[in-house]
Amino acid sequence: MLEYIKGFFELVKGLGITGKHLTKHAVTLQYPEEKDVMPERSRGVVVLLSDKEDGSLNCTSCLLCMKACPTAAIIIDAPRGEDKKKVLKKFELDFSLCCYCGLCEEACNFSALKLTGKYEYSTGNKDDLIWDVHKLQDVGRDVDYVDKRKKKVKKVAPKPTVSEATDEIKPTQSADKIETKPVEIKTDKIKTDKIETPQDKDEKPKTEGEA
């Protein structure tokens, strides 16, 4: 009998604790109406990143991510073409094998892979967990990232400054070695008109008698 009375008091005590939270807001998120925002460095679904300017795939088929994957979840097929450059024909990622270690992102030197905060990719079919290059790129188009690639920049020759320009101009002869020739002025061709003054008009030519 005492056990039943003790159990009754424990039940009332538990209902009292539950009753305190009936009028309060729920602590947990009401999924799927409410979705949690994952932090930047969370390890969710892996995506392929595209160039921010032209939208092309950043992947260069270097195979570093496939070699770094410890569970062989990444499969890449990139044969060399006629120009001896690799052409990406197949890029598959099996999320049923992925352990979300992040080694593929660390091995990539071309900002082509990233583990995002997206987590809604559960399915009842195992084959749907194998994503090809098109789906990986489409899911990652809205993912922001820091581009760490070293792009080739065309170098433009700088314009020479005033000091550099004057240094390049060198005289062909020094000042002490320059030969100077006197300039001859021909005076016989220069016609000078005599200007008559009032005194010249008053003076008359003297005759022999006056002299």
Residue 211 has pLDDT above 50, yes or no: no
Evaluate whether residue 53 is within a structural domain: yes
Evaluate whether residue 20 is within a structural domain: no
Please count the structural domains in the chain. 1
Question: What's the pLDDT at 179?
Answer: 57
Evaluate whether residue 27 is within a structural domain: no
Q: Which CATH number covers residue 110?
A: 3.30.70.3270
Question: 């005033």: which residue's tokens?
Answer: 162
Of 85, 134, 140, which Cα lies nearest the Cα of 111? 140
CB 101 within 8 A of CB 70: yes
**Interval 100-131: pLDDT, tens:** 999 999 999 999 999 999 988 889 999 999 99
Entry pTM: 0.59
Evaluate whether residue 63 is within a structural domain: yes
Q: Answer with the residue of higher pLDDT: 92 or 174.
A: 92
Evaluate whether residue 112 is within a structural domain: yes
Evaluate whether residue 15 is within a structural domain: no
Evaluate whether residue 195 is within a structural domain: no
